[in-house]
Amino acid sequence: MDRLVSNASRSGPDLVVIIPCYNEYFRLPFDLIDNFLSLNKEATICFVNDGSTDKTQLILEVFRALHPYQVHVLILERNFGKAEAIRQGMKYACSNLSHNYIAFLDADFSVSLDEMSRVFSMMLAKEMLCVFGSRIDTFGTSVIRYTHRHYAGRLFAIIAKKILNMKIYDTQCGLKIFHKIVAEKIFEASFINQWLFDLEIFARMKLHYKPSILNQIMLEVPVSRWHESGNSKIRFIHFLAMPLSLAKIWLKYNKKTN
């Protein structure tokens, strides 16, 4: 299904970051990533090239050349979608890297690498096995979202709460960090929908762990900064397919938990 391009041999610290990429040549913030890796010599990033048709692979090879001990590049032979790209990155990290924690971020970096580091530090301090960001615009935070996306997100949150029966404010925030023992379970099988996989992640968490355990190992953390990109890859046809996908998720996981 894929081939690996990497000459990284050092395990780095305890966290590897998965970044799915599909035609990101003009969007990847080169200076931001390069500076982060230069200032954090033990940081490790695994880029997953999800069948890009532009020059995305070129810029990923540059990152790998500049930071050979910090960058992994996983190449998928065709475009499988965001969920599968992240899943393949997770499976690679679990099988081939020594890191105990694995995160994923969106390639638009609406959540920055520095913000991810802050959330990871909180995760370690509280000894959690799964931590996920949420976009709550409160005093002291900088959460910038398009109005229509915000209200669409709140409507989706109501639907998600009904499906999951869990008190989660924001299932769709593009920052999630897992301990390897959790990631191995959650990302073992393919997801039903490439754009609703975050919802399915929580359904799988609930499937594998009792509610009393989840309260001890999983934590939702408001991000201090979220600046939304205007280049969403969700198309109208994806919205048309969502009701059926939501029904499939509800049927699949409610049957298993009942």
| pLDDT recorded at residue 137 | 77
Decide if pLDDT at 150 tops 70.
no
The per-residue DSSP string of 85-136 comes to HHHHHHHHHHHH---SEEEEE-TT-SS-HHHHHHHHHHHHHHT-SEEEEE--
Q: Whose CA is closest to 217, among 202, 200, 238?
A: 202
* Cβ atoms of 229 and 27 closer than 8 Å: yes
Q: Say what the pLDDT of residue 227 is.
A: 79
Q: What is the pLDDT of residues 157-186, one digit of tens each?
A: 778 888 888 889 899 898 999 999 999 999
* The pLDDT of residue 10: 37
- Mean pLDDT of the residues in the chain: 87
Q: How confident is the model at residue 9 (pLDDT cuts 50, 70, 90)?
A: very low
Q: Express each pLDDT in 89-144 by its tens digit.
A: 999 999 999 999 999 999 989 999 999 999 999 999 999 999 999 988 777 788 87
- Structural domains of the chain, with CATH: 2-257 (3.90.550.10)
Q: Inform me whether the pLDDT recorded for 148 exceeds 80.
A: no
pLDDT digits (tens, 9 = 90+) for 180-208: 999 999 999 999 988 899 999 999 999 99
DSSP, res 5: E
| Range name among 5-19, 163-177, 222-236 with the lowest pLDDT average | 5-19
- Per-residue confidence at 39, pLDDT binned at 50, 70, 90? very high
Question: Nearest-CA neighbor of 113 among 219, 21, 40?
Answer: 40
- Give me the pLDDT at residue 95, please: 97
Q: Give 46's pLDDT tier (boundaries 50, 70, 90).
A: very high
CB atoms within 10 A of CB 223: 24
DSSP string, 130-158: EEEEE----TT-EEE--HHHHHHHHHHHH
* pLDDT for the residue numbered 255: 67
pLDDT at 157: 72
Listed range (35-49, 146-160, 192-206) with the worst mean pLDDT: 146-160
